[in-house]
Structure 1
Amino acid sequence: MYSHSHKQTLRESKFNKDDDFLNKQLDPLIEQINTLDNRLMELDARQLFANIEEKLNKWRSDCHKTIDLFFKRKCQEFYQIIAEKVSKQKTEMTRLQLNVNELIRQQKVSLENIEALKSDVRHLEQDMKETEHNKCFQMDIKPLMIDNNSIHITESKMQLFNLSTLSHPFGGIYHYYGSWKPLASNNKLLLKHQTPNLCLFNRELRLVKEDVWTHGLIWDMCWSSTLARFVVLTLNSVFLVDENTMSIQQVETIKGQRWYSCTCSDTSLFLSTAKAGSSISEFKISSSIQLAKQWQSPETCTKDEWIYDIVYSNGTLALMIGEQKNKRKRMELRSSMTFDRLWLLHLDIVDPQNRSIRCCLLNDEEWLVIDRSNSRLFHVMKDGKVKATVLYESEPWRACLFGSNTLAVSSENGVNFHKL
């Protein structure tokens, strides 16, 4: 039998051991809290807002460009109306002068001729007065209304994309027979080819605009926020597509090469050539599109390699490269300024047919590699390491982000849309 004092001593010893254990658990928590407190002290609200302000300024700049383009288009329309009006008046003046000269030549002027001439002159004079005082047309200008929901501010939890848990498609757009597979998005609209048209779809996957495409096979397409145009690439030509009017304009300053892929920064358009030993050309975007720089093999790739895709992101270019002889594939990240290699990733892709591989930019400067030959998708992190690889349900050809939370995958039969 233990005495009461002995039992008390045992209990105290046990409590002391429990206290030691708990204190040891508390120490790392205290250290973690102190670390978080130091980080909190270093947080600068102004610096955090600067990142948001940059996005807001980008939105404002894009809006100004849209307004400027609308203004120029309307100016052109009104000028055309006035020019046609003046041209008709000049034609009428010429007709009156010829009539007078003919009456003088024939020397057979009747009262009826005089009255007819007077009437025509009065009508012309009245028409000219209206033109001179800008009364020949009416202009109804409505104030520009900005929806307060154009910029929606909500507090959100950061969600990291996990390819291994890619959701089932929530919607899709079927490819018409003969449609080309490339996609491009400006976050509001998605551009794709639906034989025989180029089509724009909104976020609800509804067709909002289309126009006939008559320029042949489409190799690639991308969006230029600076030009406020989609860039569409064929083998020999580059076209700009207006999202508002669907007008298609060929870029006359880019000729003489066979093109394969395209991508845009805020200041430049990058194009790669369709050949072994591919080169990459940089065209500066301003009032015109002019060649600024060119990188050739072996700086781009070796003579027996082909650049399948190029994608720009934050001062870098992602290159998808394939060897023609050994049929090996790799991804490289290069500086868009110096073309220095930042990292290289050898991809586990076996493809006897040596078909092209493509990639698209994800959120947080991560990448999605599209392996069409094996129906696989690779999730590549910003440091060039593979995070996940999954089999896709149908043969994937292309992919692009459609806004920040939707992934569009162009597969064999259509475009699938996944929530991220």
Structure 2
Amino acid sequence: ILVDMCWMSSLSMFVILTIHSVYLYDPIKSHPNLPVKIDAIQPLDRSHVLASISPFERDIFINYHKGVHLDQYRVSSTSQWTLEKRYAKSDCCETKDIGMRDVRCDSQYICLSIMQQDDLKWRLDIMSRDMKRVRRGTTMDSGENQHKFFSMLIPLHDQRWLFVNWHTNKLWIVDQQGKPKLIKETKIRNIRNVCIAPNSSYVAIRTEKPSAVKLYKLD
């Protein structure tokens, strides 16, 4: 089951994440062109499900479902992958947090979408590359419950972040100071995919029921 994918500039390849494995895909390779599994990347055990992935130069960060662990792998110049660090949930979250949903990196920081236990509200915490908290996020709206742990997080590459709550179908932009701003659009329903234009000025949103793709300008 495919759960996430990203573009890794240092390799000029797509990195594809399934619930238990990671694959590389070279889009310019000649036919037949199939994703190649990275055997060196293994979850802690098969009972744990991988949830999100993000690159940071020659590192990739892989988050487990609800953030039970967060793995940092590094690829060498000879394409050898090694586990640099396995962070526990307690390294990244507060005691009363349910856990992390997404890990995303920009050119400077790592961002974690975290659901709080007491009110089910989401927040975005900014971390350094060695997973030290730089800024605790301001809470946004709530998820449905602790078992339906669905959201989407996208870096805008100017130290802003776009967050999508799949339960409420609300989109938030968190600015450089950590202040969240709700995108004022009440007609967006059943969001399934979001894509940002290269200049971060527009966002394309794919919805279901009705099936449509809409383009919005970001402030």
Q: TM-score range by the shorter chain?
A: 0.7 to 0.9
Give the structure 2 partner of residue 179 of structure 1.
none
- Kept in 2, the 8 Å contact 1:234–1:259? The answer is yes
- How big is the shift at 1:375? 1.3
Unpaired runs of at least 5, structure 1: 1-216
Equivalences, count: 203
Q: Where do 5+ consecutive residues of structure 2 fail to align?
A: none
SS of 2:167 mapped into structure 1: helix
| Residue number in structure 1 paired with 2:89 | 297
2:141, 2:217 → 1: CA distance?
27
Distance apart, 1:320 and its partner CA: 0.5
Compare 256-265 and 296-305 and name the one that shifted more.
Answer: 296-305
Q: Please, which of 54, 59, 64 is the counterpart of residue 263 of structure 1? A: 54
Quick check: 2:73–2:82 contact (8 Å CA) kept in 1? yes
- Give the structure 2 partner of residue 279 of structure 1: 69
Question: 1:376, 1:392 within 8 Å by CA — same for their partners in 2?
Answer: no
Question: Quick one: distance in 2 between partners of 1:361 and 1:249?
Answer: 26
After TM superposition, give the deviation of residue 313 of structure 1 in Å: 1.1
State how 1:168-247 maps to structure 2 within 5 Å.
217-245=1-29, 246-247=33-34
Do the aligned partners of residues 399 and 338 (structure 1) sit closer, same or farther apart at CA in structure 2, a change above 3 Å counting? same
**Secondary structure in 2 matching 1:374:** coil
Aligned: 1:288 with 2:83: no
SS in 2 for 1:345: coil
Please give the alpha-carbon distance, in whole angstroms, between the structure 2 residues aligned to 1:242 and 1:219.
Answer: 19
TM-score, normalisation: structure 1: 0.45
Shift of residue 238, structure 1, vs aligned partner: 0.5
The whole-number CA distance in structure 2 between the counterparts of 1:401 and 1:285 is 27
Report matched runs for 1:30-49 at 5 Å: none
For 1:401, the equivalent position in structure 2 comes to: 196
The Cα RMSD (Å) is 2.3
Kindly state the Cα deviation for residue 338 of structure 1 after the two structures are TM-superposed.
4.4
Deviation of the 1:324 alpha carbon: 5.3
The verdict on how the C-alpha distance between 1:388 and 1:241 changes in structure 2, with shifts beyond 3 A counting, is: same
| TM-score normalised by structure 2 residue count | 0.82
Give the AA of the match of 1:380: V
Paired residue for 1:346?
A: 139
Report Cα offsets for 1:165-218 as digits up to 9, x if no partner.
Answer: xxxxxxxxxxxxxxxxxxxxxxxxxxxxxxxxxxxxxxxxxxxxxxxxxxxx21
State whether residues 376 and 396 of structure 1, in contact with CA within 8 Å, keep that contact through their aligned partners in structure 2.
Answer: no
1:385 maps onto 2:179 in alignment: yes
Partner of 1:372: 166
CA distance in 2, matches of 1:398, 1:307: 19
Distance 1:368 1:295 in 2: 25
Q: Give 1 or 2: higher strand fraction.
A: 2
Aligned to 2:105: 312
Matched, 1:322 2:115: yes
User: Is 2:70–2:89's contact at 8 Å kept on the other side of the alignment?
Assistant: no
Amino acid at match of 1:291: L
Q: Give percent identity, aligned residues only.
A: 24
1:334 paired to 2:124: no
Structure 1 residue 222: Cα displacement: 0.7
The residue matched to 1:327 in structure 2 has which SS? coil
Residue in 1 that maps onto 2:37: 250
Deviation at 1:382, TM superposition (A): 1.3
In structure 2, do the counterparts of structure 1 residues 363 and 265 end up closer, same or farther at CA, with 3 Å as the change threshold?
A: closer
Larger radius of gyration: 1
Deviates more, 1:282-291 or 1:226-235: 282-291
Q: Deviations over 1:271-311 (max 9, x none)?
A: 00124x52211111222221111211211224762211111
Match of 1:355 among 149, 163, 171: 149
What is the letter of the counterpart of residue 274 of structure 1? H
Which whole-Å CA distance do the structure 2 matches of 1:232 and 1:255 have between them?
14
For residues 253-283 of structure 1, the C-alpha deviation after alignment (integer angstroms, 9 at most, x for no partner) is 01134210000011211100124x5221111
- CA displacement at 1:240 relative to structure 2: 0.8
